[in-house]
Chains A and B, each alone.
Chain A
Amino acid sequence: MRKQTRVAALALLCAGTTLTAACGSDDTAGGGDGNTVTWWHNSNNEPGKGYYEQVAADFEADNPGVTVEVTAMAHEDMVDKLAAAFQSGDLPDLYMERGGGELAAHVDAGLTRDLTEDAAEEIEAIGGSVAGWQVDDRTYALPFSLGVVGVWYNTAEFEEAGVTPPTTMTEWEQVNDDLKSAGIAPLSLGAGDKWPAAHYWYYAAVRTCSQDVLTQAVSDLDFSDPCFVEAGEVVEDFIGTEPFNKGFLATPAQEGATSASGLLATGKVASEMQGHWEPGVMQGLTDDGEGLGDRTGWFPFPEVEGGAGDPTAALGGGDAWAVSEGAPDTAVDLVKYLLSEDVQRGFAENDMGLPTVPAATDAVSDPVLADLIEVRDSAPYVQLYFDTAFGESIGGAMNDEIALMFAGESTPQDIVDAMQQAADQQG
């Protein structure tokens, strides 16, 4: 009996060891058998989540034997998980790329599949917008949504305070003062996540710097032009007028009803500067799923008086579908399907973003988003978010320093110095 127990214990131990060993070497999974496509996206609220489930089901129906494993995550979660996936090399077959320096680094490391030939037709249909996802004239991802940042506002509250959208910084400050006088908090800001604060600096730079200076800065990472310091000064002055919600330094961007987007969606503030995804985010943050509904208004970042930048240029960026190197060809087929007119029309009808396939742009049902497409398509150029354009190392240092300025602990010159230092260290 005792001997038996011992043998059993031994067997158990061996089983445990084997299990551990198996877990340790189990990093080849995920690719699957060529008929399974893993797909990560960030439309984790309805209707986007359900729509993508439907799209995946339709694709499976059209391609018998193919299984699409869809994972919907909150944006921040997806970014974190992708970072870990890039490191381990165990990427989903189909994932989101934001272009710029980030994509260039992924391509450089051989992680992203070249789609130039495989999806030539779709690339042709999208046109000039793919430029942000090209490295050395090869296309590595297909943008499915391309939007611009602007100020979203509550039309009812603007009416109540008797103000109209401003066109210059001076007017904007006046509008905010009038809102405050009417007892309405003017703006919310999710500076806890840093990037929403950084967007103010980015947009100011688009207004104070000429396009040539910006293009040059993105390619040679030299920030010595005085317009960058000037951008910081514009933002510093604006912060000085105290337009933001109480506690903005610790407010998250878009998680929950007390986030910056939540404050706008629930009528606690009159406006917020955010990307094109804002209506979708707000819908997920209100009980009725409507967001601000027909009280949603939008105006572009106002003109900086005396700035060298084009007052109609836009700050923006987009999301593109990329296929990881080594993914089955079926993944490429799925990307092509996602960029088909049908899927893009559905995407637009559900107000999930601003479609890039021209034949689908008229399907956008939300009048505000339709206006946004017009702004986008008529802008002389759309500057990619600087943190994406410069890559995450410089981008992170820059966003940190900008967030410090919002806390009153940094200066316009410090921001430029931090950027230059990060760029020089990158070598």
Chain B
Amino acid sequence: MSLTPPIVAPDQGVGDPAPGVRPDELSSRRRPRAVRRTTGRERLEILVFVLPALVLMALFVGWPVLSAVRMSLYRWRGFGPMDDFVGLDNYRRVLTDDVFTQAVTHNLTIVVLSILIQLPLGLGAALLLNRRMRGRGVVRTLIFVPYVLAEVIAGVIWFQLLIPETGVVDGLLGGVGVAAPDQGFLGTPGLALGTVMAVLTWKYLGLAILLFLAGLQSVPEEVYEAAQLDGASWWQTQWRVVVPLLGPTIRTWCFLSMIGSLQLFDMVWVLTGGGPANATTTMATYLITQGTQRGNYGIAGAASVVLFVIGVVMAALYQRLVLRRDTRIER
């Protein structure tokens, strides 16, 4: 959730490369298939248009990944020569570190909870907001505002609201006679992750609703009419007709939400810094703590490779098991 996920049209399929990366298909569409051949000039054009993107990818994605892999094999303080080769020892240390395994658990908990909480809420809100009603535009805007706010700013605001005793949340709770926890919501190990989850829901629900609303626009009017003619109630129409048609959008959103939850950093860092007592660490906060704060760059490198592998495996599995049906139907 630390990165702004690209808005992906439901019919595109997330695993597909960006349109610009497949020049041969584009050029073939422009000419009849029979005369398909690329002239030297066209090749140059392709090269010129694709090269900048490739260079950027290599520079900002490929190279950092490789350097993290390299770093993970050394014991290195972050400066000076990298010459103390330790093999896979850093991986052993990361995987046997309770703090890291806790962090992985937190990430997976957030992946599951985000989907379990935001999917029904988002879907419900989108279906409601898709009906004609007074003030629809205002409500839509209000719901989307948290998503537009920068994550750090939202985090700082919530941190201030949640300060024990003097904070607004404690004040409101006190007003209705509910006692807030002594250490505050962010300071109590048992509540901190739940509190972070609540703030994340507030922040990202708007994206789910927006995507679902966009998906709903592509459900043709005829389908509603047909359902009505068949005597379906509003509920039946939504549940048996509209939601299944929304399937590709929902599956795409789940994918974005999953990836965001795995990379989660900013909000946790601002709200709790991973504390109290490691109750809210994520893989990303773990590698920042080990790397930039403690100078154990080898361990941070190993942790980042583990994070990368977990991300790739989950994305590949999801692509294979869930998204595949969407992409196959479209072709």
Q: A residues bordering B, Cβ < 8 Å? A: 10, 13, 16-17, 20, 24, 80, 83-84, 86-87, 89, 105-106, 108-111, 191-194, 246-251, 258, 391-393, 395-397, 400, 403-404, 407-409, 425, 427
Whether A17 contacts B277 by the Cβ 8 Å rule is: no
Whether A109 contacts B292 by the Cβ 8 Å rule is: no
Whether B182 contacts A247 by the Cβ 8 Å rule is: yes
Known: A192-B275, A250-B272. A13 touches B80 (CB 8 A): no
The docked-state distance in angstroms from the alpha carbon of A110 to that of B81 is 10
Whether B295 contacts A20 by the Cβ 8 Å rule is: no
Whether A83 contacts B55 by the Cβ 8 Å rule is: no
Whether B183 contacts A247 by the Cβ 8 Å rule is: yes
Whether B182 contacts A403 by the Cβ 8 Å rule is: no
A250 CB, min distance to chain B CBs, angstroms? 4
Whether A249 contacts B79 by the Cβ 8 Å rule is: no
Whether B189 contacts A409 by the Cβ 8 Å rule is: yes
The docked-state distance in angstroms from the alpha carbon of A403 to that of B80 is 31
Whether A80 contacts B277 by the Cβ 8 Å rule is: no
CB nearest neighbor in B for A86: B79
- How would residues 22 to 35 of chain B score, 1 for a CB under 8 Å from any chain A CB and 0 otherwise? 00000000000000
6 contacts between A and B (CB under 8 A): A89-B79, A108-B80, A249-B275, A250-B184, A403-B275, A407-B275
List B contacts of A24 (CB < 8 A): 59
Known: A10-B48, A249-B275, A407-B277. A111 touches B294 (CB 8 A): no
List B contacts of A409 (CB < 8 A): 189, 277
The docked-state distance in angstroms from the alpha carbon of A247 to that of B165 is 9
Whether A17 contacts B164 by the Cβ 8 Å rule is: no
Known: A109-B80, A392-B294. A246 touches B276 (CB 8 A): no
The main secondary structure of chain A at its interface with chain B is helix
Pick from B75, B163, B292: contact of A84, CB under 8 Å:
B292
Whether A83 contacts B278 by the Cβ 8 Å rule is: no
Name the 4 nearest CB pairs between A and B, nearest first.
A109-B80, A247-B164, A250-B187, A396-B294
A13 CB, min distance to chain B CBs, angstroms? 6
Whether A109 contacts B77 by the Cβ 8 Å rule is: yes
List A contacts of B183 (CB < 8 A): 246-250
A119 CB, min distance to chain B CBs, angstroms? 24
The docked-state distance in angstroms from the alpha carbon of A327 to that of B272 is 38
Q: How many B residues face the partner with a CB closer than 8 A?
A: 41
Whether A392 contacts B293 by the Cβ 8 Å rule is: yes
Whether A393 contacts B296 by the Cβ 8 Å rule is: yes
List B contacts of A392 (CB < 8 A): 293-295
B107 CB, min distance to chain A CBs, angstroms? 19
Q: Which of B49, B183, B188, B189 has the most CB of A within 10 A?
A: B183
Whether A248 contacts B51 by the Cβ 8 Å rule is: no
The docked-state distance in angstroms from the alpha carbon of A246 to that of B185 is 11
B301 CB, min distance to chain A CBs, angstroms? 12
The docked-state distance in angstroms from the alpha carbon of A83 to that of B80 is 12
Known: A13-B52, A246-B165. A109 touches B293 (CB 8 A): no
Pick from B78, B165, B186: contact of A250, CB under 8 Å:
B186
- 4 new A-B pairs (CB below 8 Å) besides A258-B160, A392-B293, A404-B277? A86-B79, A246-B183, A247-B187, A393-B77
Answer yes or no: B273 CB below 8 A from chain A CBs. yes
The docked-state distance in angstroms from the alpha carbon of A250 to that of B159 is 10
Known: A108-B80, A258-B163. A80 touches B292 (CB 8 A): yes
List A contacts of B55 (CB < 8 A): 17, 20
Answer yes or no: B289 CB below 8 A from chain A CBs. yes
Pick from A17, A111, A403, A407: contact of B51, CB under 8 Å:
A17
Whether A250 contacts B79 by the Cβ 8 Å rule is: no
The docked-state distance in angstroms from the alpha carbon of A96 to that of B106 is 37
B78 CB, min distance to chain A CBs, angstroms? 5
Whether A20 contacts B59 by the Cβ 8 Å rule is: yes
Pick from B59, B182, B297: contact of A246, CB under 8 Å:
B182
The docked-state distance in angstroms from the alpha carbon of A211 to that of B297 is 33
List B contacts of A250 (CB < 8 A): 164, 183-184, 186-187, 192, 272, 275-276
CB nearest neighbor in B for A85: B79
List A contacts of B297 (CB < 8 A): 87
CB nearest neighbor in A for B84: A427
Whether A393 contacts B182 by the Cβ 8 Å rule is: no
Answer yes or no: B56 CB below 8 A from chain A CBs. yes
A262 CB, min distance to chain B CBs, angstroms? 11
Whether B77 contacts A105 by the Cβ 8 Å rule is: yes
Answer yes or no: B218 CB below 8 A from chain A CBs. no
Whether A111 contacts B56 by the Cβ 8 Å rule is: no
